[in-house]
């Protein structure tokens, strides 16, 4: 299909499609003549994913471009590695401020110790690793004393691991439909994490009220 039909079928204005092409959010079409190209289902799928990431997830263009660039660079990787790289690209690369080198080194060591205690098969390049390091740095900086020993984090790790067991069953096969699984993985990460955080807040409220009621009965 030509760009005009791609625009009609996707509901995305032609000017926006051209912008996405310039920014690398959309792969080039198949050239057919000077300044003309043919587009296919992969372009419709990509435009649909861009819309979901922008409108539903609220991601900025720069983040979406980073995710797609990672996807396109590693398209020939095995499905698990491919998905891991795509989801990992949702996070900002770890940048260590010069005045916090020691703090980050301490956090990285603590994260490594935690992962060892949990026995998880992950590495520093795994999605979420840098986010966890940044978070630990923030806790030590603004809530000193909250985490005095790494083993305090183990129950939290085990809890979220049980969530992973629910989300990703033993029969999970990422090779079945790479496009569909990628969409689910990236969108699921962005859209479902707020659900988990909201449930945690509600659980805190329930726990506080339950504890208060128990104290009143004493």
Q: pLDDT tens digits for 13-36?
A: 999 999 999 998 998 999 988 888
pLDDT of residue 183: 76
The pLDDT assigned to 154 comes to 98
Q: How many domains does the chain have?
A: 2
Question: 39 burial class (0-12, 13-18, 19+ CB within 10 angstroms)?
Answer: buried
Which pLDDT value is given to residue 38? 95
Which stretches of the chain drop beneath a pLDDT of 70?
A: 79, 170-179, 181
pLDDT score recorded for residue 69: 85
Q: Is the domain of 72 the same as that of 157?
A: no
Query: Are residues 154 and 205 both part of a single domain?
Result: no
pLDDT single digits (tens) 164-179 = 888 877 656 655 666 6
161 shares its domain with 209? no
Q: Are 127 and 87 in contact (CB under 8 A)?
A: yes
Residues 6+ apart with CB under 8 A from 83: 174, 181, 182, 185
**Same domain, yes or no: 107 and 161:** yes
82 plus 132 within the same structural domain: no
The model scores a pTM over 0.85: no
In a shared domain, residues 111 and 206: no
Judge if 8 and 62 occupy the same domain. Answer: yes
Contact 64, 50 (CB under 8 A): yes
| Domain span including residue 130 | 96-168
Residues 147 and 118 in one domain: yes
């Amino acid at each position: 299909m030509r760009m005009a039909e791609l625009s009609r079928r996707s509901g995305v204005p032609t000017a926006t499609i051209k912008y996405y092409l310039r920014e690398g959010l959309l792969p080039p079409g198949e050239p057919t003549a000077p300044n003309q190209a043919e587009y296919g289902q992969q372009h419709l799928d990509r435009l649909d994913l861009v819309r979901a990431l922008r409108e539903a997830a609220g991601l900025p263009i720069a983040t979406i471009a980073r995710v797609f660039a990672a996807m396109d660079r590693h398209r020939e990787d095995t499905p698990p590695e491919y998905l891991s790289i795509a989801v990992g690209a949702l996070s900002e690369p770890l940048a260590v401020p010069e005045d916090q080198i020691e703090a980050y080194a301490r956090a990285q060591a603590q994260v490594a110790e935690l992962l060892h205690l949990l026995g998880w098969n992950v590495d520093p390049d795994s999605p979420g690793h840098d986010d966890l390091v940044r978070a630990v740095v923030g806790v030590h900086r603004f809530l000193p004393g909250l985490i005095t020993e790494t083993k305090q984090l183990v129950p939290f790790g085990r809890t979220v691991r049980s969530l992973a067991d629910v989300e990703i069953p033993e029969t999970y096969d990422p090779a079945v439909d790479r496009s569909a699984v990628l969409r689910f993985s990236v969108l699921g990460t962005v859209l479902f994490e707020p659900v988990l955080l909201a449930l945690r807040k509600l659980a805190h409220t329930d726990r506080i009220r339950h504890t208060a009621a128990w104290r009143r009965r004493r």
